[in-house]
Amino acid sequence: MASVYKNIKKGKVVSYKLRAFLGKDEKGKQVFKCKTWIVPEGMNERKAAKEAIREAENFEKECRKRLNENSLINAN
């Protein structure tokens, strides 16, 4: 599962950092992809947190799909 971190400015959550773990490379180094999701105006903190989790799940699925497509292309 992707990690979700709050970015707080002046006591208010303004965005979330989404970080997806994609595995390890051939040298054993961990591979991550990151994305910033900006909270829409007027959304309260609780709804924003739930939406950020949904976005993180979708982001991780998208990253894994791209990783699988790239490894199929590189294998041929």
Q: Using one digit for the tens of pLDDT, what is the confidence trace for 36-63?
A: 999 999 999 999 999 999 999 999 999 9
Does residue 76 have a pLDDT over 60?
A: no
The number of beta carbons lying within 10 Å of the beta carbon of residue 76 is 4
Q: Tell me, what DSSP letter sits at residue 76? A: -
Give me 68's structure tokens: 């699988």
Cβ–Cβ < 8 Å for 16, 40: no
Q: Provide the whole-model pTM.
A: 0.81
Q: Is 58 helix (H, G, I), strand (E, B) or coil?
A: helix
Cα separations (Å) of 15 from 1, 37, 39, 48, 61? Answer: 19, 6, 5, 9, 20
Does residue 70 have a pLDDT over 80?
A: no
- The whole-number pLDDT of residue 75 equals 44
* Domain limits, the chain: 3-75
